[in-house]
Structure 1
Amino acid sequence: MEKCRPLEKIDTPNLNSIPNDIASTDEIDLRCSYQPRQDSGRGERAEVPASSDRRKFPPILELIRAKTQLAPRERISHSRVQIQSASSPTRSESSRSGIPK
């Protein structure tokens, strides 16, 4: 049976320096001497640029209609597809065209 080795002690000074009696993240920042930037931008109301006014842009349905009009697709009925596939020879038939049936 193999003997177990004792675990090595890992030195983590940053984690070991934080006391166990900290109750909030503010206390963590204070004890680790973390100083946030004064101008963090939090709490200030963000301004929307004037160029993002929705009334200037066309509705999404108009854009979709314009796109489909640029590239119209031919509508083919199911029966037309069956007629086309029945009239065109398959690969196996075309390769056996010289062989009598």
Structure 2
Amino acid sequence: MKTVAAFYNALSNADGASAAASVVPEKRGIGPFSETSIHSFFSGLSTPLKLRSVSKEGTDSVIATYSYVRANGTACDGRAEVRTTYRYGKTLISRISALNGC
């Protein structure tokens, strides 16, 4: 749960490098896990992402709830399942699946 909380904290600060460091190496720098993509999206929010809760769902699954407001005023109350894996002596994020339409 610490890794997931750190990841979302990095998103709230639009810190693409720190957020990507929480992700398995083979997904870093690609698409939504790109440091630049993370920074661009999250730095453009009118209200930064706020992590509401993190709860363990299983051995390698965490549910994260969060909120933010886009520059156009559209609010998002999000919920995601975050899958983790233990590699290189630390827990890393292997997959994130949105559980709602944000």
Instruction: Give the shorter-chain TM-score range.
Output: under 0.3
Tell me which structure has the larger Cα radius of gyration. 1
